[in-house]
Amino acid sequence: DFTEMMRALGYPRLISMENFQTPNFMLVSEVLLWLVKRYEPQSDIPGDVETEQDRVFFIKAVAQFMATKAHIKLNTKKLYQADGYAVKELLKVTSVLYGAMNTQGGERADLPEEDSSKFKFDLGSKIADLKAARQLASEITSKGAVLYDLLGKEVELREARTESIARPLEINEAEKVMKIAINSVLEEVQKTKDMLNNVALDEASLEAKIEKRKLELERSQKRLQTLQSVRPAFMDEYEKIEEQLQKQYSTYLEKFRNLTYMEQLLDDHRRTEQEMFEEAANMLRLIQNRLKEEEQHLLKSGGNDDSDIDIQEDEGSNSEGELQIMRHRISTEALLQG
């Protein structure tokens, strides 16, 4: 459908769906630029797509143009992919142009671009004119209502106007009115002069205050310079105390590090002693169990009295067992003492 629509719209190059099997951004940008020019020949969208930034700017410009001019929402990510998904987005624009060409019987497609541009209607450029026309219409209605009210009062006002014109002018009354007007003007002039005088007085007082502040500022600056130039008497002692404090702090840090190290060593020593004590207790428990087993074995073997040979052998074995028991006891006593 896309290729047929582009061929019907008069695209000068043959397009097939195989061109969009792999991303082909150059072809997509060329088609987009041609469609934009087809929709609005006076558009000024740049066609530079050499770098990545230029491509992003081109896609954004085309999507914004189609959204404002043709009210067509395009997916910029799919357009940037420049593959089969981009064809679906291009189909939105081509379908609108193809439908417009079909409604007009295909006559616009045969006309050159200069003639077809005459029949295009740019709704976006007419929005400002539409707002201005609405504002003028509201103003006309309001002015017409006011004029209608004034014309309704014209009957009464006409009579009053004719009476005032027909009435003879009295010199004394006119003189009084002129005097009242002159007096009011003189009063306003006097008020203005008083205000000017007050302004002059205020200006003089402000200038005096400014001069006073300037003098105070100069004195303060001079005093600051003198204070900065004079060295306090306690600065030498302060610097010596600061040096001593720095030394004390360095010694404190050294002692604190040593104390921490010694505490760590003490903890390690206690841990090793505890492990050695537990090992000795385990060994002592094993030795005691072994001695109990040997004593039980000796007691069982001592109850056999069948012959003299057996007795002699038993006596010999008893002596050997007693020697072993004595050795174990001596070793355990030495271990306990240790």
Mean pLDDT of the chain, nearest integer: 79
* Domain end call among 237, 262, 282: 237
**Residues 335 and 280: beta-carbon distance below 8 Å:** yes
pLDDT at residue 113, as a whole number? 46
Structural domain of residue 24, as residue ranges?
Answer: 1-103
**Residues 271 and 279: beta-carbon distance below 8 Å:** no
Answer with the residue of higher pLDDT: 335 or 205. Answer: 205
Residue burial 234-243, b: 16+ Cβ < 10 Å; e: rest: eeeeeeeeee
pLDDT digits (tens, 9 = 90+) for 21-58: 788 788 888 888 888 887 777 777 777 777 888 888 88
pLDDT at residue 182, as a whole number? 92
How many other CB atoms sit within 10 Å of the CB of residue 264?
A: 10
Mean pLDDT lowest among 208-212, 287-291, 308-312: 308-312
pLDDT digits (tens, 9 = 90+) for 292-303: 998 888 888 865
Tokens coding 74: 């395009």
| 323: confidence class by pLDDT, cuts 50, 70, 90 | low
Global model pTM greater than 0.85: no
Name residues whose C-beta falls within 8 Å of residue 216's C-beta, 6 or more positions apart in sequence.
none
10 and 91 share one domain:
yes
Residue closest to 72 by CA, chosen among 85, 84, 58, 62: 62
At 186, the amino acid letter reads L
Mean pLDDT of 92-121: 60
Q: CA neighbours within 13 Å on the CB side: how many for 99?
A: 6
CA distance 217 to 78: 69
Residue 184 domain flag: yes
How many structural domains is the chain composed of?
Answer: 2
179 and 96 share one domain:
no
pLDDT digits (tens, 9 = 90+) for 60-96: 888 888 888 777 888 888 878 777 778 788 888 888 8
pLDDT digits (tens, 9 = 90+) for 154-205: 888 888 888 877 777 677 877 888 899 999 999 999 998 888 888 888 888 8
pLDDT at residue 321, as a whole number? 53
| 333: confidence class by pLDDT, cuts 50, 70, 90 | low
What CATH number is associated with residue 91? Answer: 1.10.418
| 110: confidence class by pLDDT, cuts 50, 70, 90 | very low
Q: CA neighbours within 13 Å on the CB side: how many for 175?
A: 3
Question: In degrees, to the nearest 5, what angle opens at C-alpha 158 toward C-alphas 152 and 160?
Answer: 120
Residue 190 domain flag: yes
Answer with the residue of higher pLDDT: 91 or 246. Answer: 246
Residue 123 domain flag: no
What single-letter DSSP state applies at residue 307?
Answer: -
- pLDDT at 309 > cutoff 90: no
Residue 151 domain flag: no
pLDDT at residue 106, as a whole number? 47
| 126: confidence class by pLDDT, cuts 50, 70, 90 | low
CA distance 172 to 167: 14
Residue closest to 25 by CA, chosen among 73, 85, 115: 85
Residue 150 domain flag: no
* Domain end call among 214, 237, 260: 237
End-to-end CA distance of the chain: 102
Residue 210 domain flag: yes
Residue 74 domain flag: yes
* Domain end call among 83, 103, 123: 103
pLDDT at residue 115, as a whole number? 45
**Residues 72 and 93: beta-carbon distance below 8 Å:** yes
| 315: confidence class by pLDDT, cuts 50, 70, 90 | very low
With a pLDDT cut of 70, the percent of the chain lying above it is 82
DSSP string for residues in 115-170? HHTTS---TTTTHHHHHHHHHHHHHHHHHHHHHHHHHHTHHHHHHHHHHHHHSPPP
Residue 67 domain flag: yes
CA distance 74 to 68: 11
CA distance 297 to 290: 11
